Structure 1
Amino acid sequence: MHAFDQSTALERAAGEGADVRFTGAATPHFKNIIGPYGGWSAAILAKAMIEAAGPEMELVSITTDFLAGAREGPVTLDVVCDRGGKNTQFWHVDLTAAGDAGPSNRAMGILSRRRETVAWTEGERPEAPAPEDCVRADLPMAWSRTVEMRPTRSPPFAKGDGCTHSLAWIRLDPARPLDAVALVALADTPTPRLFHVIGEFDMVATVSMTVYLHASPEDYAAVGTDYMLIEAHAARGGRGFYDQHARIWSRDGRLLATTQQIVWYKTTIKE
């Protein structure tokens, strides 16, 4: 079993329909500096909603709040449908680590029975060297062994004189066919924008991340196990928080997902 599937595996513990409990585990594969990699948390929360909603419903968006870093080991996911119409459902889920009194992470998600409509994409995939011509980033976190990142512009810790725009090719390692759960996880791959401003590591924490999924079943099939290009930037940082915005493109120019975060930091001006 792929390490990503092992780390997001769920077992139904109780409930059916609109109120379900799953069990899973926070594994070492996605360990970050403090607790698990945020993309893992969002992915396992997304998977819980997708499995509870059933195969006819597709994940449209998920907002994950990172209340604390989940401890390694068993976790419980409590999933509730707040409102379910014919074509659109609203869900929320809490992830609680064993021994904790309250949730470490929580998410709200929208799932839909999607239909064919007028479609468009604004903008184009940025120009970038082929992933095969780019060097893989060597990061100290465990999750970077399972998530492959090949920067093409502004590598991690490259000070950009206030510009935080970066490009990188991404995919799971070993290669795994793309699906909605993996796409949610990969949305958290850009290194913190603060590092591009100060040119070094400092403590940050994502407070909340929203992912909007645009990919169709045909898009997932077309990408398969190939690399995707993620472009990211921050509009403004200050007074302890900055925003981060990103778009994920297929190699052939399909816009697969857009995402945004609000991130806490404490870096001050050095004298």
Structure 2
Amino acid sequence: MQGSFRTIELSDAPYEFDGLRFLTVKTPNLKGRGDICLYVPKTDQPLTDLPIYILLHGVYGSAWIWALKGGAHKTAEELMQRKQIEPAIIAMPSDGLWGDGSAYFAHHQKDFARWIVEDVPLAIKENIPEASAKSKLCIGGLSMGGYGALWLGSNYPDKFSAIAAHSAITCLEEMKLFVEEPLTDYTQEAETPNVIDVIKANQTKMPPLRFDCGVEDELIAGNRLLHQQLQDLNFKHTYEEFPGSHQWEYWQTHVRKTYQFFNASLTQN
């Protein structure tokens, strides 16, 4: 079956490892190909309709980085084996690979938002037997991926059952800390509001929201401000601070909180 994409490449089982699968599809939204790294849990009995937890990476990274620098699949496997979370597919797509980081919204005639929100779930549901049209979606990420998760989750609240972020960029201006491309490159097609603006616009539709940040992180001020703004709105959310800075050791430790939050949100719903 051809499906919704002109071309599809899926890794072959004999060469896969640690439950990881790799998927590449061609999409008009990227005007080319996009990559997705997947962790698909294996059990004695076939699994179907599994939820899909999308993890967005930060600047400089790609589809492999959550797994091969963050060990995100290992953490998920551990939690599932310990029965601390129900089985789920972990989807780790690239951001579209524009510049140092696409920031996950539309610019330069490429729609990085629709790539994540539409193409990634559809590619998984059409090509991974453990997923289906019934699979629920949650979205999370780190740094620029945290911005993407907060921004996309708030912009498309009906598509996601929960939103989470670690060490998130909370306004586009903070991208200047990491990328060489000028901010005008990002805003050439439309001015992109800060995370708080999108949440305000969709406040009554929002799914459960959680975010955290390390107290030594250069983005801590923005995260504290977002927390205060949400409190001022009387918007229910979870915000936590922990020791640590803007580094993989922090995200390796705290991604389990994202998984547990997603699992709890789906269970409660």
TM-score (norm 1): 0.31
Name the structure where strand makes up a greater proportion of residues.
1
Between structure 1 and structure 2, the one with the greater Rg is 1
* Higher helix fraction (1 or 2): 2
